[in-house]
Structure 1
Amino acid sequence: MTSFLDPLISFVSANAWLAYLTLFLAALLEAVPVVGSVIPGSTIILALSALVPGGELKLQWVLLAAALGAVLGDGSAYWIGHRQQREILNTWPLTRYPRVVEESETFFHRFGAWAVFFARFVPPIRAFVPVTAGALGMEPARFYAINIPAILFWAPAHVLPGVLAVSAFHQYLGVPHEGHMGKHMWILTVIAAAILGGLGVWLYRRRQNGVGIAAAAKPPA
C-alpha cells in the first residue's frame, strides 16, 4: 500500500488543483437529489482533508472548495424546485425514492425553514431538502439566509475531523510529518476510516431503501 501512497501523495502535491476540484465536485454532487444519495461526498472530503497536515493541501482552500461546491449544489437543487414547484416531487427520478421524498417533506414541515439548516447534517435527506424547500415555496432570500450559514458550519465539521486526527497522530503518538513509514500510516488510517464509514452509511441506506420498497409492495390486509 505504501508503494501506492508514494505516487499518490506526490501527484496530489504536484496537482493540488485536481484535489481541490475533486473536493468541490464531491460537495456539489452530494447536494444533488438522488445523485447525492449514492455519491460518498463526505467520505471523499474526509479522506482528502487528511492531506492537510502534511502540507499537500491547504486548509483554507479545502474549506473553500467544499463550501462552494455545497452552495452551488444546494442552490441548483433549490432553484429547480422553485421553478417547477411541487410538480418536481412527482417526476422521475424523484419518484424512485418516494420514502426519502416523503421524509424530506415531513422534515421540512416539522422544522420549517430551519429544516434547510439541519438537513445539511442528516444524510440522505440532505440531498432532497433543498429541492423540497423550493418546491414548497420557500423564498430565495430566506433559503440562502439559512443555507449559507449551515454550509459554513458543515464544511469545517467535515474537514476538521480528518485534519485533527492526522495532527493527533503527529503530536501525541510521535509520528513524524515527513520521512518514512509513519507518514503513510496516518494517511492510510484516516482514509481507511473514511472508507469504512462511507461503506457503513451506504449499507444503512440500502437497508432502509429495501425496507421502504418492501413496505410499499406489501398488499393491504
Structure 2
Amino acid sequence: MAHDLANLLGDVGPLVFYLAVWGLVFAGTALFVGVFIPFITGDSLLFGAGLLTGTNPKLSIWVLAIGVGIAAVLGDQVGFWLGRRLGRPYLTRRGGRWVQAGVRRAERFYELFGWWSVVISRYIPWGRVFIPPIAGISAMKYWRFFTANVVGALSWGVLITVIGYFAAVDPSVRPVAYIVAGVVILASIVAGVRAWVLDRRSRRTAGEEAGRPR
C-alpha cells in the first residue's frame, strides 16, 4: 500500500495525493466501496499514507490527518441519511449472502451498543460500512449519531494516520508506533469477533425459546 501511494504521489503531486486518500476514505462508507475493497479504504490506507508523509517533506501530516477525519465523518453522514431516507431495502439490495450476513451482524451490534456502536464501528471494516445506514434506518436521533460519528471518525482517521507518520519520521518512537497500530488493529478484530459471538449466542437462545412447548 505504501509503495502504491508513493507512486501516486510521484505522478500527481501533493494536492491530488491528498484528494485521492480523502476520496477513498469517503467512498469506503458513502459509496459502499469498503464492502468489497476494505484494504484500500481503511486502516492500511491511513497507515501507509502516514508512513509516506513522514518521508516526504512536501506533505503535511496535519493536512492529511484532519482531511481524513473530515472525509470519514462525511462518508458516515451520507450512509446515515441514505439509511434514513431509503430504509431497510437500501441494504437489502446491497449484494450477496456474505454482504447480508454483514448487515445482520451490524444490526445486532447496533442493538447491543447503541451510541458506542457508531464510535467502535470505525475500527471494524464491516462495521464502518454498515452501522451508519443502520443507525439511520433505526431512527437514531441525528445529534446522537453526529456526536458518535465525530468521535469515532476523527479518532480513527487522525490516530492511525499519525501513528504511520511517527513510525516513519522518528526511529526512537517507531517500535511504539508499530505496537499501537497493532493494538488498534487487534482491538478491531476483537470487537468484530465479540459481535459475531454475541450474534450467534442470541440466535441460539432465540431458537431454543422458539422450540420450547407453550
- Tell me the TM-score normalized by structure 1: 0.68
Give aligned-pair identity as a percent: 23
Q: CA–CA distance in 1 between the matches of 2:10 and 2:24?
A: 19
Q: Which amino acid aligns with 2:53?
A: V
Larger Rg: 1
Number of residue pairs the alignment of both structures matches: 176
Measure how far apart 1:45 and its partner are: 2.1
TM-superposed deviation, 1:137: 1.0
- 3-state DSSP class of the match of 1:77? helix
The structural deviation recorded for 1:165 is: 1.1
Distance 1:149 1:112 in 2: 14
Greater fraction of residues in helix: 2
Task: Determine whether 1:47 maps to 2:56.
Answer: no
Offset of residue 74 of structure 1 = 0.6
- Change beyond 3 A, Cα 1:113–1:20: same
Compared CA separation, residues 69 and 10, structure 1 to 2 (3 A): closer
Match of 1:21 in 2: 19
Matched residue SS, 1:97: helix
* Residue of structure 2 aligned with 1:134, choices 133, 136, 140: 136
The Cα of 1:17 is off from its aligned counterpart by 0.3
Aligned residue in 2 for 1:121: 123
AA matched with 2:41: G
Alpha-carbon deviation of 1:96? 6.1
Distance across 2 between alignment mates of 1:56 and 1:138: 42
Aligned with residue 106 of structure 1, among 84, 105, 108: 108
Quote the residue 1:185 is aligned against: none
The two structures have a TM-score, normalised by structure 2, of 0.70
Q: Contact 1:94–1:101 at 8 Å: present in 2 too?
A: no
Is the 1:19–1:48 Cα contact (8 Å) retained in structure 2? no
Q: Where in structure 2 are the equivalents of 1:57-136 lying within 5 Å?
A: 57-93=59-95, 97-136=99-138
For residues 60-84 of structure 1, what are the alpha-carbon distances to aligned partners after superposition, in whole Å with 9 as ceiling and x for unaligned? 1111221121111111111000112
Task: Quote the RMSD (CA, aligned, Å).
Answer: 3.4
In 1, Cα distance between the equivalents of 2:125 and 2:9?
A: 33
Change over 3 Å in CA distance of 1:95–1:32 after alignment to 2: farther
Per-residue CA distance 1:51-102 (angstroms, 9 max, x = gap): 2223231011111221121111111111000112233232343776111000
* Cα distance in 2 for residues equivalent to 1:163 and 1:138: 36
Return 5+ residue gaps in structure 1 as ranges: 174-189, 191-196, 202-207, 209-221
1:81 aligned counterpart, secondary structure: helix
Q: Distance in 1 between matches of 2:94 and 2:80?
A: 17
For 2:158, the aligned partner's letter is P
